[in-house]
Amino acid sequence: MNFTILSARDLRLSYGPTRALDGVSLDVQVGDSVAVMGASGSGKTSLLHALAGILLPDSGAVRLTAPDGPLEITALSDRERTRLRRERFGFVFQQGLLIPELTAIENVAIALMLNGVDRGAANQAAAGWLAALGLAGLEDRRIGQLSGGQAQRVAIARAQVTGASVVFADEPTGALDSQTSAEVMSALLDMTVARGNTLVLVTHDAGVAARCSRIVDVRDGRIVGERVGA
Ligand SMILES: Nc1ncnc2c1ncn2[C@@H]1O[C@H](COP(=O)(O)OP(=O)(O)OP(=O)(O)O)[C@@H](O)[C@H]1O
């Protein structure tokens, strides 16, 4: 079923004199893979963070179509947005989201345990996702004992183990060579849009963006164009 899962209207956000977002509106359909591209400082991460409820814009609205009805993310309290992110969204960032002291399976299972799932069930689900991502046998390695591509696969497992309907990725392949980048991008698409979920990602890499169904070009805090991708 095709419907608008995320809708942003006239988002504005300034840091002092810098307009990070200068009137951005964007509708994301369920099953879309949207690549946000633009020069450094153009507002890509600000847009991703505003869509995901990580930051609140100065004005404008972000609405999510949740299973129990529409939800205005920009009207929620900090606590409500934290819960929403934990339950409905998944995140894959270049670095920083995985806990280096924990093993691969612990990093994935913890996302479920934070939502109240018991350890046994969480470990079982985590093992299934790691296996689906080609990481069977590496469950007990700490993140530092994995390659960059393997660590990003753990991040993908963590982002989807909760059944999140939207995954946000910020430069998910930024630290990877081109071959590994292509493999991680395949894994990211297979685990999200191929399962009926939605992906919004920020990338500098035209090859990564071309794998997405929509490419949105951002400049000076505005959307200046959109192209069709894969
Ligand atoms: N916390 C902050 N404090 C001050 N200025 C900020 C802050 N966050 C972002 N900015 C500024 O807002 C503008 C947009 O930043 P943003 O990080 O969204 O851009 P970006 O396109 O993601 O950049 P990059 O590709 O370099 O990550 C930039 O000019 C940036 O310097």
Token readout for 189 is: 């698409």
25 C-beta closer than 6 A to ligand 1: no
20 C-beta closer than 6 A to ligand 1: yes
| Residue 96, pLDDT score | 63
| Ligand 1 atom closest to residue 204's alpha carbon, by position in its atom list | 25
Atom 18 in ligand 1: which residue has the minimum CA distance? 43
| Residue 97, pLDDT score | 82
15 C-beta closer than 6 A to ligand 1: yes
User: Which CATH number characterizes residue 91's domain?
Assistant: 3.40.50.300
| Edge-first strand listing for the sheet containing 214-219 | 89-93, 166-170, 198-202, 33-37, 214-219, 222-228
| Residue 170, pLDDT score | 94
57 C-beta closer than 6 A to ligand 1: no
| Edge-first strand listing for the sheet containing 59-66 | 18-29, 4-15, 59-66, 69-72
Domain with 26, as residue range(s), is 4-228
Atom 7 in ligand 1: which residue has the minimum CA distance? 15
46 C-beta closer than 6 A to ligand 1: yes
18 C-beta closer than 6 A to ligand 1: yes
| Residue 2, pLDDT score | 82
94 C-beta closer than 6 A to ligand 1: no
Q: How many other C-beta atoms are found inside a 10 Å radius of the C-beta of residue 133?
A: 24
| Ligand 1 atom closest to residue 13's alpha carbon, by position in its atom list | 12
Low-confidence ranges of the chain (pLDDT < 70): 1, 96
Task: Report the number of distinct structural domains present in the chain.
Answer: 1
